[in-house]
Amino acid sequence: MTSPIDVEDGGTSVVVDGAIQLATTPEAKELQGRSPGQLMWIRFKRDRTGVISACVVIFFFLIAAAAPLIAKLYGKNPYTVYADEQPELFDSAGVPVQPNGGISSEFWFGLEPGNGYDVFTKLLYGIRTSLMISLAVTVATVLTGILLGVTAGYLGGKTDYFISRVIDFLLAFPAQLFFIASMPVVVSLFVSPTDETPVYVRVVALIMVQWFLGWMSLGRILRGTTLALREREFIEAARVSGAPPWRIIRREILPNVVTPILVQGTYMLPNFVTAEAGLSFLGVGIVEPTPDWGQMFSKASTELVMQNDITYMFFPGISMIIFIVAFNLLGDSVRDAFDPKTAR
């Protein structure tokens, strides 16, 4: 769903030159003028669902950032193979002996069937890896989307035509198939196929591949918004007063496209999280022993887990559902706060 942009109300913050500033300041003093950002913040604070989901999302980012600290306090790390360290905890197949996946006061979330990693630290570090990658992809796609979308919309003409056709073309790509097909190719750009692939190369490849097919929707929206903004009077005024294009884009257009960027950004990030997890699930993303959210799912779908104790499955599963639900609700609230007119 695309968010309609509130161009009418969004333009108030724009100050073109000194004369207009003088005209508006006395009025602003009397009426306690609020910037659109402040208005949005006030509306957002009133939305209880939004605040709660924002807290949940922040909680996830906090535990991801503090994963090493938490693991240190908890006294374990996600790389210890407890099947070797404490074999008495596992039966011959590698399944934890104790019920419910080996949950105990020592291992809060139990032990992973098979290698016997500690699930709690594994999950913390896994969330950390996934969120780091997804955040990087989001930043990269947003920057690309701004660059190409605003350029296309502002310059128009041949540039616009060319960028729009590129967007159309990339949207026709079978995305998931392209991801799995190009992952090995991108990895091979950095290392030769005979060498061991370092973790950072996989991470960089994941980011690149998702970035390549991730920016188009935002780019298209920003193109449309810029196209509409270009015809507005304040842009015209700026152009007439001799402002160079770069200044117009930076000072007049960018402040007015913050809304779609924020709204789309909050919708995009959870999608990147699930896409990255999907790739790792298929075995083309992050691989053992590096902890990763998606790779925990691939471990959970082995016959060993499905036939014996399925407790392990729920930790990555439920945590991801909570995260995605919270993030989607947050996205809706952000949109509502910016655009009070659109009905849900």
Partner 1 sequence: MLRFLVRRSLGALVILILLSIVAFLLFFGMPRDPALLMCGKGCTPANIENIHHVLGLDKSIPEQYWIFLHNLVVGSNDFAQGPCPAPCFGYSYHTNEQVWGTLMDRLPTTLSLTLGGAVCFLVLGLGTGLIAAWKRGTLVDKTFTAGAMVISSMQIYFLGPLALAILVYQTRIFDKPAYNPISSDPVAWFTGLIVPWVVLSTIFASQYTRMSRSSMIEQLQEEHVRTARAKGMSSRYVFFRYAWRGSLIPIITIFGIDLGSLLGGAIITEYTFGLPGLGRLAVEAVSFSDLPLLLGVMLFSATMILLCNIVVDAAYAFIDPRVRLA
Q: Which is nearer to partner 1, 41 or 169 (CB)?
A: 169
CB of 303 to partner 1, least distance (A): 7
Binding site for partner 1 (CB under 8 A): 168-169, 172-178, 180-185, 188-189, 193-194, 274, 277-278, 281-284, 294, 297-298, 300-301, 303, 305-307, 310, 313, 316-317, 320-321, 324-325, 328-329, 344
CB of 313 to partner 1, least distance (A): 6
Q: Which is nearer to partner 1, 90 or 315 (CB)?
A: 315
CB of 290 to partner 1, least distance (A): 18
| Of 160, 199, 182, residue with least CA distance to 286 | 199
CB of 319 to partner 1, least distance (A): 10
Q: Which is nearer to partner 1, 85 or 195 (CB)?
A: 195
Q: Which is nearer to partner 1, 93 or 189 (CB)?
A: 189
CB of 226 to partner 1, least distance (A): 24
Q: Which is nearer to partner 1, 17 or 168 (CB)?
A: 168
